[in-house]
Structure 1
Amino acid sequence: MSVDTNVNLDNGMQEVTFLKTPIMATYLLAWMIGDLEYIETYTTGDFSGEPVCCRLYAPIGLATHGQYSLDLAVKSVEYFSRLFDIPYPLPKLDLVAVPDFSPGAMENWGLITFRTHAVLLDEHSTNDRQREIAATVIHEISHQWFGNLVTMDWWSDLWLFEGFATHLAYIVVDELFPAWDVWSEFVTRVQHVLKQDALRTSHPVEVGVANPSEITQIFDEVSYMKGASVLRMLSGWLGEDQLLKGIRKFMMRYMWGNANTDDLWMTLAEECQADVPEFMRRWTRQTGYPVLTITEIDESTIMVRQSLFLSTGDIREEEDDFLWPVPLSLATAADPTPKNIMMTTKELILKVDTKGWYKFNMGQSGFYRVSYPPRALDLLGQTLKNGEETETLKTADRVGLLTDAAALVAAGVSPTSSFLTLLKYFEDEENNLVWAEISMRMQELVAVWLEQPAPVVNAIREVQRRLFKNIVKRLGWTYPEGEDPAIGNLRALAIRFAGRAADPEDTSAIPPDLLFPVFEIVIKTTTGLDEYEAIMAFYRETYSPGEKVVALTVLGYGNSPEMIQRTLAFAMSEEVRNADILSALATLRSSVMGRAELWNFMRQHWDVLYERHFDDLRFVEYFIMFSIGMFSSVEKYQEVQDFFANKDMSQCDRILANCLEGIRTRILWLERDREDVEVWLKSNGYLAPAALVEVGESESGFGGMMSTATEEDRRYGNLPFSRRTSLLHAVPGLQLSLTGTLSISTRTICTTLMSTNIIITTTTTTIMNMERTIAISTNTRNVFSMRSISNRNNRSNIRARRFTSMNLQLV
């Protein structure tokens, strides 16, 4: 509330009296004391007749960086006043940037608190940061009505107010920034909760809360994003205008009081003359969501069957008795205008021309997955590849095709190779959000396969690099004046994943959107400490909260044991605010070494960490998730179970259960598709074949024993070279140094190999038996070619690196 009186006392202190608050929930009370500065402005007062004073407070020297957020606040207050037909209910609104604030933001009535980088923006901030700040500020301001003026009856209704605040924020952002295409971005955000809600350990949107520890645990993606998603689905069914009319009636009826989920459904049913309770209760009281499996009966008929979708893919018969009312929204090549069909049965027969493409869930407004027959998915891909129907199959639809295919692959419904093949149809895609989703799915694939043999992991990364390299060539590094921010985002994304970056000495010359990809590439591609120290210095010198988070995040990509250890120590030091610690830890799990060190660190320091952060259980939950959430082996699954078996996890039992279920999902995925992925990589030229090298007797005593290599050794070329017959794997960047006089004959054992170059450095004369015998002069470096007559279209390079103590080290 605003200040009522301010009296100077004789002892030099001041007595400040504030205006009396309206009736309100106790959790919305807050006050702030500190050395702060502010900027202010006022609403027009056009709607309420009284201008509202809006201020943004920040630490000294940073308040001007809040101008963007303050302007958004004024526009949002005016927008929501008109939307709800209720003036802003307080005399003032303050936004406060708090340097060490664990939540992203908190909607205290009239005094909204934010983490500094969630509300402050400067000339170094990225386009993505602008969008994130807009969504956060508007979300919190929507709560001033929906959550504060009308408050949930009990914590089990948390989803309603968080879900609606999220949904309403997207409506306002779309109104203020139509070029941002925020509803397509919404579809990308929904993927996180679709993944979480496909676990057996998930929970319904409406979940009972029996004790305080359960309150914190339900502040998750299910409450926020599934809540917002089912409300968007409801909006699609009723129509947005009808939904908003019902919300206004609800607000008027329950303002200055409490309400629950059923109160809203009944109000909407009255206003819209529809059975809203029956429709929504299935979605909010049942855990999970359906996958629609399409079966083509003939050229004009299909059958749609709904069943519970589980990421593990091992659904039991007794689990498949759920039924949802599913709005289908179907478009076809013959009739691209979406047709709305409500599916209320387990199976549904529809007349569809299957000779052309067809797609369900147009606009991706439905909270479900769709599994198409391979031929139908191929038709959709071909349509996109040919540049057809881009006005019909919009960004959200293309994102939906990708994400559904990726999820079905992880669950074992389709082979992983089918998703990798689908990506080929998107090579000419130009939309940033689609490419962002491709990068996310490829990162997930790398993460699951990360502890597999290096050649396979490198081949998967090469798939990703090739997908993005053409974008880098097309867009370059230069940011033209007036360029669409989405193009800038795409450039930054492509440079990051193509891995083609320079190493600028002057960081001030790096465009803000390229700061993260440049830093990431530099630190990932060096084991030296100079670059690491440079980024550490950048963190210490920059005043920008957003740039500090970027630097911290990038430090987690360090690829040497020393870097990883230093990052862990630095993240937990007093130099890093508690609110920012997780930024560094999140990226440590992107490497095998980082995962191992983070897991060891957690086990060694668990008791201290838990005690220190007990009052911030969200931190503890994220720490658990980052430390164990990406494992994909039976051994690690057992380690996690054993470690936590004797720990009191009553406050974090839900996140632990989710992580274990996620590990199990990845274990099953690997078991099913390890060979499928390798076959696809080889057949598409990403995973090169091996060549058989026989080492004969020589004057220097090298033996010519037959190989005793295992089958796995032969598959990947991981063989000891001394006194053995060895398989050399064609991995770019290897170099082989031989000492002595050898007689070497080669023959290819895989017909996909056409030409392999071997660079050999010798210190004595060496005789090479290939297609002809060649003598090599002493102390020279020569390149020879091994050829396979059967295939002359595929090229690979071997450059061997080191030959030490009779061992060939492949890197």
Structure 2
Amino acid sequence: MAVKHLIENFIPENYEVFLDIDRKAKTIKGKTVITGEAKNLPVAFHAKDLEINKITFLGTDTSFTLNSAAEEVLVNLTEKGIVSLSIEYEAKLTDNMMGIYPSYYEINGEKRQLVSTQFESHFARQAFPCIDEPEAKATFDLSIKFDEEANDIIVSNMPEIEQKDGIHFFKRTVKMSSYLLAFAFGDMQAVKGKTKTGVEVGIFSTKVHAPESLEFAKDIAIKAIEFYEDYFGVAYPLPHSWHIALPDFSAGAMENWGCITYREACLIAEPHATQSTKQYVATVVAHELAHQWFGDLVTMKWWDDLWLNESFANMMEYVAVDAIHPEWNLWSQFSAVEANLALNRDAIDGVQSVHVEVNEPEEINTLFDPAIVYAKGARLMVMLRFWLGDKNFSKGLNDYFDTHKYGNTQGKDLWAALSEASGRDVAVFMNSWLEQPGYPVLTVNYYDGKLVLSQEQFFTGEGEEKGRIWQIPLRSNYDALPEVMTAERLEIPNFKLEEGKPLLINQENTAHYIVNYDATLLDAILTNLDSQDDLTKFQLLQDLKLLTKAQRVEYSTLIEILGYYSGEKSYTVSNAVNQLLADLAIFIEEGAEADVAFKSLRNKLFVKEYARLGWTQIKGESADDEALRTLVLSNLIIGENKDAVEKAKKLYLEFESDTSKIPADVRPIVLINEIKVSDSVELADKFFADYKSSSESFYKRELGAALSNTKLDSVVETILDAQKDAEQIKPQDLFFWYNYLIKKDFTQKKVWNWLKANWDWVVKKLGGDMSFDHYITYSGNTFKTAEMLAEAKAFFEPRKGQLGLERGINMALTEISDRVELVESQKEAVTSSVVALEKKL
């Protein structure tokens, strides 16, 4: 069924939005004057949960009809053309982090709140009647009155121009989509600065946080705006760039134009923050600022082109932060995080393509799949950037922004600009990647002096072969190979391998496919592995891991190759080892012979670096070593290394009175170790009390991750009982707790039973939120037994019609089914190979 677009009957030009908000009563009294072109009669506006009192047209009250199911109000205008109408209404502040809602926090024992907005994707209609579609761009004159108290401030997309009779008036916005309008008010603090071109940058938060914890984000924001202005060749178009940390926020951040809102963990970096925390904050800030051009200045025409916003911004966050902090070696992180996430999910039959149709509002939020629209989409943009060259890519973007500023586009418009700049047919190259789900495996065989390459869609489990073909950039280290492979099969006769130069394809891991080398070619790479760069070593293990999961390579072969990676000094390469060990863990039963060998294997793979790095940061050490230390220590604690366990215990005792003061880079490891070795109700109560009282987001997550290791029923019951109490666990953090607990064998069944018993409450509390389907995704990522597969089917299948969940449920059930089959068929081979490698090392 084709989606209905209200803009076809009414094109808005301007909204005068007045809101009178009472925080204590949680009420809104609103009046919106809408000016625009009525093309056909009657006209309709989006309105959800608005109690409309009066609509006035040409000075006369006009009849209207509310259609709650369609979230519309039908207005009986008497004439077409340029018109202006006034709508008076009432509404409630929501408590589900959509529309206009309060964020709750506590300072000095006093409960306080900020009020802010979340209008993406289609929640502006909960705040004021509008054409709530991205194509319906207009200007906004916002004025707000609220129950103002001493020290309260209010910020919005544009500067405040007047305050009169308690009403705050803001400058008219530029032309933009309804989902980008935003404001926040309450008792906030800010640190501010300016870019070289005079854009004022401010970081806002509650006064719970130290002002210095806002400085890092401010510096990144200033540098990122300056970088983008240069790279895009288009000036930042607003007078300010506000960034607001909210105590309650369902997503990570939201790119409201000039008034970006964040989950606190995504914006606040304490002075003692780890390198990984700073990298996380920097990339989130850079991501949202990329949207100020790609998404805000130029906006997708409809939500089926969401990738135009998110894929691009997800790539640009790495481009920008790498330019600001090249010492972080961020592109290796891109492979470890984004590429890994995308490759794993995109290999499941039934996965959505990057570009996908949207027919119902409920489907919009299911598009925000972090593995596809964000990670895969970003990887495709990286692939395109390498294929075109950075200069052509940058020039094409400049042309794109200049041509379409303040307008709406589709993917073809971006391809046209990039094609003009580069002289290449970008649409032909990219459409095979965007319009088709999945990705290819490139099989490479070398025999009788001939190199043969063939492509087919890759599945990690069962999958239906549909003859899909991709335009594959080969990026080889041999000139005999063409730049792009466009056919199913390619033969290169008279191909000669040079001594000491193994054939490498998809160098730098920039394109979205994996390579299956035959035994001769693979042996040549392994023989020369020490001379390869870190990303090549990472990529080889990444591809082999997936091939083994698909049962195209024997697990015995993969685990034997793992021996080549013992004692690696690179975080990038060690991360590949760590990811492989996580995949192997599903085959290992706790307490079995293989479990003992598996723990010992972890020790042997990482103990050399443990001796080098220890527990304490070394002055002047690289960001790579800082990250590697955390990874090494985590594996040794899992591996129950005696020295590591004792030192972790000693560190805990040193900071027992205030565990938040444990050095941040090793704190999560120390906390997990303490639960493992000293599990008790008293310890759990202490950790949970610290969790509830702390305002430091990363520390709270670390306490949650540690508590999920408990083996005490009463502790698990306490945590589950707290799930529905927002005073103890904020709704924004429910997904984290589910993810922590569902992954542990001891707690899995308990939290699963909780979800089943409380599903209706979860739907009521979080349904419609863009992260709601995480409950399904996390279950699909984890269950590995026939029993849990049967339970997942019985529970989820009857709910496929809820909130656009069908695709996610089908994906989760397919993933669990594939995993169950894999474990049952390969468990013996994996366990015997683990035991053999441990003895060998």
- The TM-score bracket by the shorter chain reads 0.7 to 0.9
Supply the AA of the counterpart residue of 2:457.
L
On the 8 A contact 2:598/2:835 being kept in 1, the answer is no
Aligned to 1:522: 674
- Secondary structure at the residue paired with 1:58? strand
Aligned to 2:471: 325
Deviates most, 637-646 or 528-537: 528-537
Q: State the distance in 1 between where 2:671 and 2:790 align.
A: 36
Aligned to 2:436: 286
Alpha-carbon shift at residue 326 of structure 1 (Å): 0.7
On the 8 A contact 1:466/1:498 being kept in 2, the answer is no
1:140 aligns to 2:288 (yes or no): yes
Alpha-carbon shift at residue 224 of structure 1 (Å): 1.2
Aligned to 2:807: 654
Aligned to 2:818: 665
Aligned to 1:64: 212
On the 8 A contact 1:36/1:59 being kept in 2, the answer is yes
- Secondary structure at the residue paired with 2:782? coil
Aligned to 2:344: 195
Among candidates 732, 735, 746, match of residue 582 of structure 1: 735
Supply the AA of the counterpart residue of 1:199.
I
- Secondary structure at the residue paired with 2:695? coil
Aligned to 1:276: 426
1:402 aligns to 2:558 (yes or no): no
Supply the AA of the counterpart residue of 1:538.
D
Aligned to 2:630: 492
Among candidates 751, 756, 775, match of residue 598 of structure 1: 751
Check 1:188–1:617 CA distance in 2 against 1; reply closer, same or farther (3 A cut).
same
Alpha-carbon shift at residue 355 of structure 1 (Å): 6.5
Alpha-carbon shift at residue 649 of structure 1 (Å): 3.9
Among candidates 300, 303, 307, match of residue 452 of structure 2: 303
- Secondary structure at the residue paired with 1:348? strand
On the 8 A contact 2:549/2:822 being kept in 1, the answer is yes
Q: State the distance in 1 between where 2:443 and 2:481 align.
A: 18
Aligned to 2:245: 97
Aligned to 1:683: 836
Aligned to 2:718: 566
Q: State the distance in 2 between where 1:306 and 1:160 align.
A: 27
Tell me, which stretches of 5 or more residues in structure 2 are unaligned? 1-156, 638-643
Q: State the distance in 2 between where 1:67 and 1:338 align.
A: 52
On the 8 A contact 2:742/2:752 being kept in 1, the answer is no
On the 8 A contact 1:125/1:546 being kept in 2, the answer is no
1:353 aligns to 2:497 (yes or no): yes
Aligned to 1:370: 515
Q: Write out aligned runs for 1:343-742 (5 A).
A: 343-350=485-492, 351-353=495-497, 356=500, 357-384=502-529, 387=530, 389=531, 393-446=532-585, 448-450=586-588, 454-499=592-637, 500-501=644-645, 502-503=648-649, 504-505=652-653, 506=655, 507=659, 510-573=662-725, 574-618=727-771, 620-647=772-799, 649-651=801-803, 652-685=805-838
Q: Write out aligned runs for 1:166-185 (5 A).
A: 166-185=314-333
Alpha-carbon shift at residue 453 of structure 1 (Å): 7.1
1:160 aligns to 2:308 (yes or no): yes
- Secondary structure at the residue paired with 2:244? strand
Supply the AA of the counterpart residue of 1:588.
L
Question: What percentage of residue pairs aligned between the two structures are identical?
Answer: 28
Aligned to 1:781: none
1:115 aligns to 2:267 (yes or no): no
- Secondary structure at the residue paired with 1:32? strand
Q: State the distance in 2 between where 1:260 and 1:521 align.
A: 51
Q: State the distance in 2 between where 1:34 and 1:91 align.
A: 22
1:53 aligns to 2:200 (yes or no): yes
Check 1:262–1:309 CA distance in 2 against 1; reply closer, same or farther (3 A cut).
same
Q: Deviations over 1:19-60 (max 9, x none)?
A: 111111111011112111111111122xxxxx1111111001
On the 8 A contact 2:708/2:744 being kept in 1, the answer is no
Aligned to 1:786: none
On the 8 A contact 1:28/1:108 being kept in 2, the answer is yes
Q: State the distance in 2 between where 1:367 and 1:115 align.
A: 30
Q: State the distance in 1 between where 2:697 and 2:351 align.
A: 34
Supply the AA of the counterpart residue of 1:383.
N
Alpha-carbon shift at residue 251 of structure 1 (Å): 0.7
On the 8 A contact 1:496/1:518 being kept in 2, the answer is no
Supply the AA of the counterpart residue of 1:287.
P
Q: State the distance in 1 between where 2:421 and 2:799 align.
A: 51
Alpha-carbon shift at residue 112 of structure 1 (Å): 0.1
Alpha-carbon shift at residue 571 of structure 1 (Å): 4.3
On the 8 A contact 2:251/2:770 being kept in 1, the answer is no
On the 8 A contact 1:354/1:376 being kept in 2, the answer is no
Alpha-carbon shift at residue 185 of structure 1 (Å): 1.1
Check 1:328–1:628 CA distance in 2 against 1; reply closer, same or farther (3 A cut).
closer
Q: Deviations over 1:91-125 (max 9, x none)?
A: 11110000010110000011000000110011332
- Secondary structure at the residue paired with 1:151? strand
Q: Deviations over 1:281-323 (max 9, x none)?
A: 111111111001122213x3321111100010x444xx24111
Check 1:287–1:5 CA distance in 2 against 1; reply closer, same or farther (3 A cut).
closer
Alpha-carbon shift at residue 428 of structure 1 (Å): 2.9
Alpha-carbon shift at residue 8 of structure 1 (Å): 4.8
- Secondary structure at the residue paired with 1:34? strand
Q: State the distance in 2 between where 1:295 and 1:349 align.
A: 10
Q: State the distance in 1 between where 2:604 and 2:685 align.
A: 31
Q: State the distance in 2 between where 1:338 and 1:64 align.
A: 56
Supply the AA of the counterpart residue of 1:381.
L
Supply the AA of the counterpart residue of 1:267.
A
Check 1:437–1:533 CA distance in 2 against 1; reply closer, same or farther (3 A cut).
farther
Q: Deviations over 1:671-711 (max 9, x none)?
A: 3312211331343456xxxxxxxxxxxxxxxxxxxxxxxxx
Alpha-carbon shift at residue 2 of structure 1 (Å): 3.7
Check 1:77–1:678 CA distance in 2 against 1; reply closer, same or farther (3 A cut).
closer
Aligned to 1:779: none
On the 8 A contact 1:450/1:591 being kept in 2, the answer is no
Q: State the distance in 2 between where 1:282 and 1:236 align.
A: 17
Check 1:363–1:305 CA distance in 2 against 1; reply closer, same or farther (3 A cut).
same
Aligned to 1:764: none
Alpha-carbon shift at residue 604 of structure 1 (Å): 1.6
Deviates most, 100-109 or 509-518: 509-518
- Secondary structure at the residue paired with 1:17? strand
On the 8 A contact 2:450/2:491 being kept in 1, the answer is yes
- Secondary structure at the residue paired with 1:185? helix
Tell me, which stretches of 5 or more residues in structure 1 are unaligned? 46-50, 687-792, 795-811
- Secondary structure at the residue paired with 1:274? coil
Aligned to 1:244: 394
Aligned length: 663
On the 8 A contact 2:245/2:263 being kept in 1, the answer is yes
Aligned to 2:171: 19
Check 1:323–1:615 CA distance in 2 against 1; reply closer, same or farther (3 A cut).
closer
- Secondary structure at the residue paired with 2:798? coil
Supply the AA of the counterpart residue of 2:268.
L
Deviates most, 282-291 or 568-577: 568-577
Q: Write out aligned runs for 1:787-806 (5 A).
A: none
CA RMSD in angstroms comes to 2.2
